[in-house]
Structure formats: structure tokens, C-alpha cells
Structure 1
């Protein structure tokens, strides 16, 4: 077996293995790659349908932005997810095991392995549902179409949406000094509006009962296919999009052991502040 650039694999299978794989793919409709990914995940004991999260939304609201882990640590916990970087230095998108950093100046780069991360949500993405959506004229309309596809309001769902977007409105927050909370930080954000662009929405649905842990409702970051733009999604329009859902039945929470986190007051009600900081600014 020879590993090529990126994540491509070239391997030679015995005739019996190949015939069994072909037969399974014909019967199930799965691709060869999907079957091999599942087989490797089982063999390597990767956790399926498990949401791994670093820190909490309350800590983020209170300005606990110091990196407690690094980008290189994400590979141990998933190949898909979203988050941010030390002192809110841009928006993070983890797709197919590669972590991208959308900066406040509008640029997108592959995040350095040693870049600190204070908050992140990740999973080993394995689609359980696939379907198309059409006539999406707002982020609210997207959510309304996704709602009936979820099993209920009380489970996490990882969501990957791809296609040609008529318009995507995004923001990326600038790096902030220590002591600045999320609401204040969100006042200094770069807004980017892209039109007629192919890309991916990576995100999660989080239940309302987890507000102190995560951002409730839908939370998406966008990455253009050509890596020309990305960020936290505020609004979206598209004629048709392809959707994949991965229902998350397990939650693993990693709490930082930094002095900053241990001494922070995380007892307040953050619901209103979090909603204001994460929503599209009012005109």
C-alpha cells in the first residue's frame, strides 16, 4: 500500500476481497471509498457518531480564548468540524481532515499545526442521511428545511452541505487581546459577501438544553472549493444544495486546564449574549 499526497490511497486487493466489495457496493449503493473508510474506522477503533468538544460556549462568551490544545490535536478527535483559534484569530473549518483558517482580512490558509485552539467541535463524519434542498433564500429558510430531517430537538447533528451558492454572507472576527469577551469582539468583525460560489457549509445543530456548553441551533462555517473565502455564516441563498447528516449520539467534553479557564466565572446566563454575538447584525 502506498500513501500518496493528501489522503489518497492506492492498494491491491485479493480477487475475493474485490468481488465481495463490488457485490456489497452494488447492493448498498455505497461507494468503494465509503466502505473502505468504514472498514478502516472499525479496525482503527475510531469513534462513530461521537461529538468531541473542546471548552464551552460560556467560556467563549466570557473571553476565555487562550489556546489549550493545538490544531495538530484535532486529528485524534475527528476529520470534520468548526471552531476558532487562539484569541479569536479567525474562523476554523475542518474538512476531510484538513484544518483551514479564515482570517479577518478575508484570506484563507491551511492552519499551522502548532496554532492554538481554545474552542472546537469535531467528529469523524459518517453520513447517515443524504438529500437535496431547493429554493433556499435565507439562513432561516435553510434551517426550516433541515428541521424535519432531524430526529428531534434533543440530539446533536453534524451537517455537511455542498453545492453552488447564489450568495453567502460571512464574518470573521479579528484577533483580540486578553480580557475581551465575545460580544465586544464581535463588534470588530469583517463581513464578506460572496456570489455564485461553490463550497461547503460545515456545521452542527446543538440542542437548546446545551446552551452553557455549545451554541444552540444551527451553526455553520463556510469554505469555498477554491479556498478563496470562508468564515462564520450569517446568511445564505442557493437554488439547490446537497445535504449530509451525521446524527451524534455521544458527547465527549474536554475542559481546558489552563489558569485562564480555571479562574473564569462561568456561572452566568449567556443565552442572550450568545445569540447577539452569533447572529447577523441588524441593519
Structure 2
């Protein structure tokens, strides 16, 4: 959610703002937002992440941060819950859990999270997307909005979906790795539903930290349905794009994380777990 600010400033400040836009190439709004965030000590254009996707692949699902603590680092993002118990969607500062039947509920602040990626979302670009016939079409369209393959990007996509295919992870049994745990995940579809897609694009060089490429979760407008995006069809979506140029990660101190073997490339396992196949992002 954004707000419009109108105020009077001195010529000195006005000249300084314009000098900064010329120096950086950023818009005036971008420069003002960054200056205000810095003045109030707020993380802006920053990602905060709990644990790593590589740890998830190895079955490290033990919660290491509460939902309440997670909220202090951002208001928008995604992840999962203790024991891989459903999908986490954070929107407008509220955390929701999508369970294996596609039903969502608001998470309690005391619930634990083993993995999440969040930010303080503030759109740098807003654009309408037309004729999105599949997830591949969506990815190609979003690619045109990304300024580089080397920065993280947040996406908030709102509208009415003619059809949307989702899944939700089921609570994992002790000792299950991610591929095994998601092999019995629940998949479901909704038609003619209004809602929001929440997610990120992650550069390839960060593939041991997060899911490389696009990772999107959905929540309905009434906050009763949601899950991890598999496919979609929509005539029109409103896209908000947030560039992420700062990255912070909280390393778990749990025994399972400290003793896990995280040397392997998790890309193939993540492709299978995220999309049900090894198709590329």
C-alpha cells in the first residue's frame, strides 16, 4: 500500500533532490523514498531472508524465527511454516497460511518459520499486463520489467484470474527431504477468482540461497484461498515491481541447520519441488 505526500520544501532541498536524480538516474519519487527511509532507519529496497533454499532441499524445516519477529523486517513476501506445514504469504503486513486444501487463515505471531523471504514493498514500476495465458507467458512479460538479471525483484500482481492452478506443501514427516516431502503435495485450481500474487525473481548466482527465477504465491481478495503458483490464465493484471538492491539473511542456529551438508547445487531438486518437473526457469 502506498500513500501520496504533498508538502512545501526549500529551493535548496529541491535543487539537492534534482541533483541526486541526475547523479543516480533514479526518479524523484525513488530518491525521496530512499532519503526518508534512511532518515527513519527503515530498510528500503532490502530483502530479509530466513535460512536458505539449499537447507530446505536437505529437509531442514525446523522453525527458527517467529511470525511476530518476521513482521519486524517487512510487510510483503513468502515462505513456509515449521515442518513445511503449508505456504506462507505475507501481504500488507499480515501473514497467512495456505494449507493442503487451498484454504487460508491468518498466522499467529507465535508460529515458527524455517524459511521466508520478505521486504518492505514499495513499487518502483506499475504496469498493466494483458492476455496472460500461462505461467510461461507471465514470466516472459515480467522479464521485460526487470532492469537486470543481477538484482532481486519483488512482484505484486493483482486482478481477476480466469483460472489459477496452485499447490500447497503438506507437513513433512521427520527425515524427509524436500523432493520426497513435496511428492505428495496437494494441487488444486480456482476459477473466476480475484486476488494477489506475491513473490520475487532471484538471480541465478543466488541459487544456493533462494529459488532462482520466479517464485510466486497467491492469496484471494477475501483471504480465504491461496497457495503456491503453478499456472494461470488472466485477461488483465495490475503489476507492481519493486527493485531489491540489498540482501540480509538470518542464518539458523538450530542443530539441524548447523549439521546439514549444504555443499550440493539445489537447483534440480528445487525445480522438481516447485513445479513438479525439472523444467527451467
Q: What range describes the TM-score normalised by the shorter chain of this pair? A: 0.7 to 0.9
Q: TM-score, normalised by structure 1?
A: 0.85
Closer, same or farther: CA 163–91 of 1 in aligned 2, 3 Å: same
Query: What SS does structure 1 have at the residue aligned with 2:60?
Result: coil
Q: Given the alignment of the two structures, is residue 177 of structure 1 paired with residue 158 of structure 2, yes or no? A: no
- Specify which of 208, 211, 215 is matched with residue 212 of structure 1: 208
What per-residue deviation string (whole Å, max 9, x for no partner) do you get for residues 28-56 of structure 1?
A: 998xxx9x998974553111000111101
- Specify which of 117, 121, 125 is matched with residue 121 of structure 1: 117
Partners of 1:238 and 1:200 lie apart in 2 by 12
The count of residues paired between Structure 1 and Structure 2 equals: 260
Task: Give yes or no for contact 1:65–1:178 (8 Å, CA) kept in 2.
Answer: no
What per-residue deviation string (whole Å, max 9, x for no partner) do you get for residues 152-194 of structure 1?
A: 1111001000011111100001111221111001111111100
Closer, same or farther: CA 114–218 of 1 in aligned 2, 3 Å: same
The aligned residue for residue 136 of structure 2 is 140
Task: Give yes or no for contact 2:164–2:231 (8 Å, CA) kept in 1.
Answer: yes
Query: What SS does structure 2 have at the residue aligned with 1:99?
Result: strand
Instruction: List structure 1 runs of 4+ shifted beyond 2 angstroms.
Output: 17-21, 36-44
Task: Give yes or no for contact 2:271–2:277 (8 Å, CA) kept in 1.
Answer: no
Closer, same or farther: CA 194–249 of 1 in aligned 2, 3 Å: same
What per-residue deviation string (whole Å, max 9, x for no partner) do you get for residues 125-150 of structure 1?
A: 11100101100000010000111110
The aligned residue for residue 102 of structure 1 is 98
The aligned residue for residue 4 of structure 1 is none
The aligned residue for residue 127 of structure 2 is 131
The aligned residue for residue 265 of structure 1 is 261
Query: What SS does structure 2 have at the residue aligned with 1:86?
Result: coil
What per-residue deviation string (whole Å, max 9, x for no partner) do you get for residues 240-274 of structure 1?
A: 00001110001111110111100011111221111
Task: Give yes or no for contact 2:132–2:235 (8 Å, CA) kept in 1.
Answer: yes
Partners of 2:185 and 2:94 lie apart in 1 by 24
Closer, same or farther: CA 251–29 of 1 in aligned 2, 3 Å: closer
Query: What SS does structure 2 have at the residue aligned with 1:177?
Result: coil
The aligned residue for residue 69 of structure 2 is 73
Query: What SS does structure 2 have at the residue aligned with 1:72?
Result: helix
**Structure 2: 5+ residue stretches without partners:** 10-26
Partners of 1:181 and 1:47 lie apart in 2 by 33
Q: TM-score, normalised by structure 2?
A: 0.86
Q: Given the alignment of the two structures, is residue 188 of structure 1 paired with residue 191 of structure 2, yes or no? A: no
Task: Give yes or no for contact 1:50–1:248 (8 Å, CA) kept in 2.
Answer: yes
The aligned residue for residue 223 of structure 1 is 219
Partners of 2:33 and 2:265 lie apart in 1 by 41
Partners of 2:118 and 2:265 lie apart in 1 by 25
**Structure 1: 5+ residue stretches without partners:** 1-6, 8-16, 22-27
Task: Give yes or no for contact 2:75–2:94 (8 Å, CA) kept in 1.
Answer: yes
